[in-house]
Amino acid sequence: MIHNEDTIYAPKYIIKRILLTILLGFLSNYLLLQLMGGPPEGMSITVPFTAGTLFYVILVESIIWIDKKLEQKIPISPKNFKKRILSQLGYSSIVAVIIMAGLMYLIQFPNYERDTIIATVLFLLISIIVFISISFLFLLFRIIKKGLEMVLEVENLKVEKLEMSYKALQDQLNPHFFFNNLSILKSLIVLKKEQEAKDFIQNFSSISRYALQHSDWVTILVKEEIEFVKQYTSLHQERAKNSIFLDINISEKCMSKEIPPMTFQLLIENAIKHNIADEHSPLNIEIFEEEEYIVIQNSLNEKASAYSTKKGLENLKKRFAILIDQPLIIEKTTTHFKVKLPLL
């Protein structure tokens, strides 16, 4: 609330505030008297200056008091917006009239001529209009400040929510990665391919270290991801010799861009899992640039028994949606499966 804020509203600024109001009061009085051709007949020039300035000081402090009290009772929000504006302007108008009536009584208006009274009342009415406008400006200042605070709060909540969503998606990826690779290791052991199983374990420990080290990273350099995916693919190439081929054609400029970690690995894993890969029908995987995208494309020769929940691709789509406005593009033909990844 405003009384706790370090602004012109704060009690410690009351002297500065009053001095500023007196200055504005004198300037306003001078301009109004010039427009009226001087003080009314029979009235000393000190009367409108003193009364007007006192009126300004009391009114400004009253407006600030009303504003602070209303902020406690009717805080600015979309729900209370209309009620708050009407209340603030209404109370400010009532207080202004009361203050004006009090000042008229103190300076003994009945002793002046009728024209003098009318001119002075007109003077004070103009002052009321001016300060009702000031009240509105106070309110406008608070609305803008409150609006900016709300926007900032919403943006912070959005970022926090996105970070939580991204972390949840990232956490889903690691168990998926380890489970699939342990399944491969199990198949090598069942087939009694001892040397291949040993080589797999050695390579697997290296790529597992990478996966664990980068599990909390939001993005990673394409260059690092390429190095990782080379290791990962060689793991499968050892198992299926002359059956899986990886061709990478990426410029140095593209290497310095970023993507979510383990993106390439997920797509290559999907390609190996869902397609036949043998000497007669090798699996060709390409990674290359295409305009503002980096593309992973594999030859298509799907296994008849392959079952897919498509969770991996859905996970990847959601991760990219959190990080960038450009969509991840998936294209499938009779011969190829292609995923276009927007670069960060």
Query: Region 76-87: what's the mean pLDDT?
Result: 76
Q: What is the overall mean pLDDT for the chain?
A: 75
Are 28 and 114 in a shared domain?
Answer: yes
Q: Is residue 186 part of a domain?
A: no
Residue 167 pLDDT more than 70?
no
Residue 177 pLDDT more than 70?
no
Are 219 and 151 in a shared domain?
Answer: no
Query: Region 188-214: what's the mean pLDDT?
Result: 72
- Provide the CATH number for the domain around residue 264: 3.30.565.10
| Lowest mean pLDDT segment, chosen from 68-82, 122-136, 140-154 | 122-136
Contacts 24+ apart (CB under 8 A), 91-99: 91/66, 92/62, 92/63, 92/66, 92/131, 92/132, 92/135, 93/128, 93/132, 95/59, 95/62, 95/63, 95/66, 96/59, 96/62, 96/128, 96/131, 96/132, 97/128, 99/55, 99/58, 99/59, 99/62
DSSP 3-state assignment of 191? coil
Tell me the pLDDT band of 40, cut-offs 50, 70 and 90: low
Are 152 and 9 in a shared domain?
Answer: yes
Q: What is the DSSP letter of 307?
A: -
Tell me the pLDDT band of 6, cut-offs 50, 70 and 90: very low
Are 6 and 153 in a shared domain?
Answer: yes
- The overall longest dimension of the chain from CA atoms, in Å, is 118
Are 84 and 219 in a shared domain?
Answer: no
The pLDDT value recorded for residue 1 is 39
| Lowest mean pLDDT segment, chosen from 63-72, 142-151, 223-232 | 142-151
Most confident of 2-11, 193-202, 216-225: 216-225
**Domain count along the chain:** 2
Greater model confidence, 184 or 90: 90
Q: CA-to-CA distance for 63 and 68, rounded, in angstroms?
A: 9
The pLDDT value recorded for residue 324 is 81
- Statement: the pTM of the whole predicted model exceeds 0.85: no
Are 97 and 232 in a shared domain?
Answer: no
Q: Is residue 178 part of a domain?
A: no
Instruction: Give residue 328's domain range.
Output: 193-342
